[in-house]
Chains A and B, each alone.
Chain A
Amino acid sequence: MDLNLFISLLVRTISLGTPIALVGLGEGFSQKAGPLNLGIIGYLSLGAYVSWVMAYRLQNPWIATIMAMLAAGLLAAFVAFLVVTLNLSQIVVGVGVAFFAEGLVCLLTFIAWPNYLIPTSFNVGVFRTAGIPILREIPFIGEVLFGHHLFVYLMVGIAFLLHYIVNKTKFGLKLRAVGESTAASDAMGINVARIRYIVIIVSGMLCGLAASYMTLVRARAYVLGITGGVGFLALAAIVLGAWKSPRIVLAALLFGFVRSLHFLGQAQRWINIPSEVWQMLPYIVAIIVLMISSIRIGAEAPPELARTYIREDEA
């Protein structure tokens, strides 16, 4: 394999891994405090739509990204209302919201562009990737690591920020306590609902950011279902990353790598493996990863994951 191909494989690994990492970071943050958001699939669809429609209307990808984060955060806040305030099952609401958002985005896309005549990147203010000046000129390392869009480096920053918040701050201590034992935390006077609202909304906003990255940076295009698969792989990345931010990023990059193998398979005709096998490979890897993780770190999942908390009210 020649060097250029190898470089582009690694570049793809990072650019495909970044959205998985962003979603995994937010959702991992949320799971650490208990809430499981299957609705991330919905947040992503909505984020992708909003980023594209805003970038088209406003011709400004930055504002479009912020709008996408707000929209996904708003949907997440609705979910938080359902699962925290109304105590509905997180799994059922997650499935419901995924459905709802998918249908809604179909309708909204229809409203924005009747007959689904979606504008291409010529008419939309997408991001132009520049990378980091000077550094990107370094042979190999610069090409692999420093030619990316700012969002990639932002993702790394977010990973460390979340890691710091969870492990070094009072808020993080509370968050871990809530994920470990909600009843105890509640009795200690920790505002469980507030913490869960915050983490769910953060999870939503990072989905918005991930979706914006996918449309405005990576694909520079928008089609319905563009975010498919990313949410599911992010869920697996969290388990592989043992709910620790830096490890989640590495796990996401692993999935990015497996996904980019598809490209390698196409580029290298000599690898005679059908395209479908490349397509399903990330999910096979995910299952193997889940198996390995469960042997190695099975006990590390937050004990209150996916549980609704209802204050005991019994004579």
Chain B
Amino acid sequence: MGRKLLSELISTLIIIIIVMIAASLLFMLAGINPIEAIRLIIYGALGRTRGISESLIRAIPITLIGLSVTIAFRAGLWNVGGQGQFYAGAIGASFIALFFPMTRIIHLPLLFIAAFITGGIYAGIAGFLRAYMRVNEILSTLMLNFITLWLTQYLATGPWSDPGRIIVATAFFPDSARLNRLHDTVRVHQGLYLALLCVGIVFVILNYTVYGQKLKVLGANLTAAKYAKINIKKKIVTIFLLSGGFAGLAGAVEVSGVYYCLRNGAFPIEAGYGFIGIGAALMGMLTPVGTLISAVFFGILIAGSSYLKTVVDLHGHTVNFIIGLLIIGMVARHLFRPKIQKFLDKVLFGKKELTERGTSSGS
């Protein structure tokens, strides 16, 4: 098994290098010195405590949405509505935070439960449509993305807005609804623990529960799933509920850990976390731990290019071309990974392969 993991890592590294070379060429076209750009990105993301903190802040919601995507994609359900569920969660969390002040020890958990439920139910709409009305979930989740986007804008500018604030947004959350920062000097907050906890939960679900096994069977083959005595419709809906729940948590983490309010329109983030979460999950081979690692990597990339912006005034979405290439590269990796494994077999594990051959021959 070690050989497979090693070949996965090597092929991932190769993809990253190729993408970085491609990115450098494009930067050169833009008259930006690629080495300088990469240096700035790395410095901005990792150079100081503040940089690391900024990278982690971005990695937290990406991880949570990545987990959401991992659950859905493993079950063969193309939930590409992470963005919409993110907003749904942010709305649910803000609702609790703003209108139900209470003691912190209840307020914060309640806020997250609300976000999980709103995100889950919002995704559940797509799940219900898929299971009972055969509506393609790619289309429905894409459309649902827009609805909560505009709903957020409406709430933040209209009924929930606080006219006393300079920017268009709701009032600040009370302290009882804020995630504490890990240290006074940095912005990274307790949401980090929540993300790690969720990675653990999803890991256990996928690997150690009957539910997780059934989920994977559903993803492998629908006919086999029916044969395997799985209640497909019910399962599809519950998977969407679960998947949307994690994306909803991402929204909650953003409002209660970073902004302390629900803001006008799109969050001032460099790119849509919802879609980047898809990238992180795919790059992480649809495993919880892999997703976490990829999310940190994307966090670094986004925080770094955000710093780059202070030097070169590039639009925030520019970094998306690197992310896009990485997503494509990660699926393309399967084309050459077996060859790398074969090569490793020959060079490093020559003897081991021979013994395995002995047992695998036949038929």
Chain A interfacial positions (CB closer than 8 Å to B):
36, 38, 42, 82, 86, 88-89, 91-93, 95-104, 106-107, 109-111, 115-116, 224, 229, 232, 235-236, 239, 274, 276-277, 279-280, 283-284, 286-287, 290-291, 294-295, 298, 301, 306
Does B136 belong to the interface (CB within 8 Å)? Answer: yes
Given A93-B331, A111-B31, A290-B143 in contact, is the A103-B135 Cβ separation under 8 Å? no
- Interchain nearest-CB distance for A91 vs B (Å): 6
Q: Which residues of B292-345 have CB atoms within 8 Å of chain A's CB atoms?
A: 313-328, 331-332, 335
Q: Is the CB of B323 within 8 A of A99?
A: yes
Q: Is the CB of A232 within 8 A of B142?
A: yes
Does B250 belong to the interface (CB within 8 Å)? Answer: no
Does B129 belong to the interface (CB within 8 Å)? Answer: yes
Q: Which chain B positions have C-beta within 8 A of A229?
A: 146
CA distance A294 to B327 in the complex (A): 31
Q: Is the CB of B139 within 8 A of A102?
A: no
Q: Is the CB of A110 within 8 A of B315?
A: yes
Q: Which residues of B133-154 have CB atoms within 8 Å of chain A's CB atoms?
A: 133-136, 138-140, 142-144, 146-147, 149-151, 153-154
Top 4 A-B residue pairs of the complex, sorted by shortest distance between their CB atoms: A103-B321, A100-B324, A99-B324, A103-B320
Q: Which chain A positions have C-beta within 8 A of B5?
A: none
Does B78 belong to the interface (CB within 8 Å)? Answer: yes
Chain A minimum-CB-distance residue to B146: A283
Chain B minimum-CB-distance residue to A95: B278
Q: Which chain A positions have C-beta within 8 A of B144?
A: 283, 287
Q: Which chain A positions have C-beta within 8 A of B149?
A: 280
Q: Is the CB of B30 within 8 A of A107?
A: yes
Q: Which chain B positions have C-beta within 8 A of A109?
A: 315
Chain B minimum-CB-distance residue to A99: B324
Does B347 belong to the interface (CB within 8 Å)? Answer: no
- Interchain nearest-CB distance for A177 vs B (Å): 22
Does B43 belong to the interface (CB within 8 Å)? Answer: no
Does B275 belong to the interface (CB within 8 Å)? Answer: yes
Given A96-B328, A107-B26, 7 more A-B residue pairs with CB atoms under 8 Å apart are A36-B138, A82-B332, A96-B327, A99-B275, A102-B317, A106-B315, A107-B318
- Interchain nearest-CB distance for B83 vs A (Å): 12
Contact of B313 among A97, A115, A291 (CB under 8 A): A115
Contact of B140 among A38, A95, A102, A287 (CB under 8 A): A287
CA distance A102 to B322 in the complex (A): 10
Does B166 belong to the interface (CB within 8 Å)? Answer: no
Q: Which of A95, A96, A111 has the most CB of B within 10 A?
A: A96
Can you identify 8 A-B contacts, CB atoms within 8 angstroms? A92-B282, A92-B328, A95-B278, A99-B321, A99-B323, A102-B321, A283-B146, A290-B143
Q: Which chain B positions have C-beta within 8 A of A239?
A: 136, 139
Q: Is the CB of A38 within 8 A of B154?
A: no
Q: Which chain A positions have C-beta within 8 A of B326?
A: 96
Q: Is the CB of A104 within 8 A of B26?
A: yes
Q: Is the CB of A294 within 8 A of B146?
A: no
Given A96-B327, A99-B279, A103-B318 in contact, is the A290-B135 Cβ separation under 8 Å? yes
Q: Which chain A positions have C-beta within 8 A of B146?
A: 229, 232, 279-280, 283
Contact of B327 among A92, A283, A284, A287 (CB under 8 A): A92
Q: Is the CB of A100 within 8 A of B321?
A: yes
Q: Is the CB of B135 within 8 A of A291?
A: yes
Q: Is the CB of B320 within 8 A of A100?
A: yes
CA distance A210 to B157 in the complex (A): 33
Q: Which chain B positions have C-beta within 8 A of A283?
A: 143-144, 146-147
Q: Which chain A positions have C-beta within 8 A of B315?
A: 106, 109-110, 116, 224
Contact of B319 among A97, A103, A110 (CB under 8 A): A103
Contact of B150 among A116, A276, A286 (CB under 8 A): A276
Contact string against A for B residues 117-142, beta-carbon threshold 8 Å, 1 for contact and 0 otherwise: 00000000000010001111011101
- Interchain nearest-CB distance for A277 vs B (Å): 7
- Interchain nearest-CB distance for A118 vs B (Å): 11
Q: Is the CB of A274 within 8 A of B142?
A: no
Q: Which chain A positions have C-beta within 8 A of B354?
A: none
Contact of B143 among A88, A98, A115, A287 (CB under 8 A): A287
Does B158 belong to the interface (CB within 8 Å)? Answer: yes
CA distance A102 to B20 in the complex (A): 17
Contact of B139 among A104, A110, A235 (CB under 8 A): A235
Q: Is the CB of B138 within 8 A of A38?
A: yes
Does B80 belong to the interface (CB within 8 Å)? Answer: yes
- Interchain nearest-CB distance for A14 vs B (Å): 23
Q: Which chain A positions have C-beta within 8 A of B1?
A: none
- Interchain nearest-CB distance for B135 vs A (Å): 5
CA distance A91 to B313 in the complex (A): 32
Contact of B314 among A91, A95, A106, A232 (CB under 8 A): A106
CA distance A232 to B275 in the complex (A): 15
CA distance A188 to B17 in the complex (A): 42
Q: Which chain A positions have C-beta within 8 A of B316?
A: 106
- Interchain nearest-CB distance for A49 vs B (Å): 12
CA distance A308 to B319 in the complex (A): 29
Q: Which chain B positions have C-beta within 8 A of A111?
A: 29-31
Q: Is the CB of A232 within 8 A of B318?
A: no
Q: Is the CB of A280 within 8 A of B317?
A: no
Q: Which chain B positions have C-beta within 8 A of A280?
A: 146-147, 149-151
CA distance A30 to B142 in the complex (A): 19
Contact string against A for B residues 23-41, beta-carbon threshold 8 Å, 1 for contact and 0 otherwise: 0001101110000000000
Q: Is the CB of B153 within 8 A of A91?
A: no
Q: Is the CB of B317 within 8 A of A93?
A: no
Contact of A97 among B134, B151, B328 (CB under 8 A): B328
Q: Is the CB of B150 within 8 A of A235?
A: no
- Interchain nearest-CB distance for A111 vs B (Å): 5
Q: Is the CB of B321 within 8 A of A104?
A: yes
- Interchain nearest-CB distance for A143 vs B (Å): 32
CA distance A248 to B279 in the complex (A): 31
Given A104-B26, A280-B151 in contact, is the A95-B327 Cβ separation under 8 Å? yes
Q: Which of B78, B143, B154, B318 has the most CB of A within 10 A?
A: B143
CA distance A95 to B276 in the complex (A): 10
